[in-house]
Chains A and B, each alone.
Chain A
């Protein structure tokens, strides 16, 4: 704060010296006008140019500070209130209670769905749209190193096998050799190449089942879904 009282400045302009006790009392009292101030403050105001100047300035600034900024029209729209409701829901979902409810009410997918599979979905652009939304418009142009992708699938299969072995070792220490057996057994990998998107066309999904030791002759794409099946 650089606005300080100067005894030599008649209009109370800021200068070097500090405030007197009377000035401080006047400021802390909220700068009352002479007509409303208690006697000591009123007497001080009559003789103190510094405090008079502060009072005048604050009257002017106070008038400007009382003016409310104009609120945007959006504040009065129903959409704004809807936005508040949406925010309430989001905050509730992010709260611990929301997480608890999420765990308590998992989405149940029925194992068997009655009725025919909706083949029409496969013919539609739904999957393409979804993939493009997630991966961007250039997803179809992405190139995938098939050998690298396949090696990662194999690593995933073996890692899964090893994990099962580790669990097996913990629970059944006597079966130590089973892990080696499992790891050495070829796993079946089911490669579901779904959602192969190409320019202007919709391709039927291709399902290829192959042994983990053999790289299948399919085109790997960013949209290929790779799954490994049960260990034999």
Chain B
């Protein structure tokens, strides 16, 4: 598909409509604010538009897209790293929509409150750890997907994810000592992710 070909524009618009909210979620997790996340969405899709003809289909489109989003998010944070993250509330003020879970109202309220605290803790992690947690949990990526998206070996993905888990738990316990993280019983099949 060429940029000047018939239908390119409508195809791009379709891609945008299909992926915009997923892109926004990842960008929000990495940048920490809604304003920055919106900026990253614009940056990412403008880059997609310019690079789309170079996408050969060697990987999933989503893998290719999310790699762009991750790079744009990190670049954005690097450009604005002197600006402290002051607002982490936009992700918690409104009711949040679960990706693939439908908890009861009680659980939902608890999860929403916890969501803001987790987002605050995530924003204190290093970009690498933030990225891998965002992709793992928002996109439910397997280790193989993570390795393909981030261009890492499987071993690096595993060790980085393990470090991210421990670092996040440590931050949450330090900043929100009243939270009871031992209450949830691990009863699901499979790993944490």
Contacts and interface: CB of A to CB of B under 8 A. Distances in A.
Contacts of B59: none
B185 A56 contact: yes
A64 B107 CA distance: 10
B42 A69 contact: no
B43 A75 contact: no
A143 B111 CA distance: 65
B166 A33 contact: no
A54 B133 contact: no
Contact of B46 (A57, A71, A76, A88): A88
Interface residues of B, number: 70
Interface centre among A27, A63, A76 (most CB of B within 10 A): A63
Given A30-B191, A64-B111, A68-B99, A59 B186 contact: yes
Interface of A: 1-3, 11, 14, 24, 27-36, 52-72, 74-76, 80-81, 83-84, 87-88, 91-92
Contact of B172 (A11, A54, A61): A61
Given A69-B37, A81-B16, 16 more contacts: A1-B170, A29-B191, A30-B191, A30-B193, A58-B165, A59-B184, A61-B172, A61-B181, A64-B115, A67-B97, A67-B99, A69-B28, A69-B91, A70-B97, A75-B24, A88-B50
Contacts of A1: 163, 166-167, 170
Contacts of A29: 158, 191
Interface in B138-193: 138, 140, 143, 158-159, 161-163, 165-170, 172-173, 181-193
Classify the secondary structure of A's interface with B.
helix
Interface centre among A35, A66, A68, A83 (most CB of B within 10 A): A68
A70 B94 CA distance: 7
B24 A31 contact: no
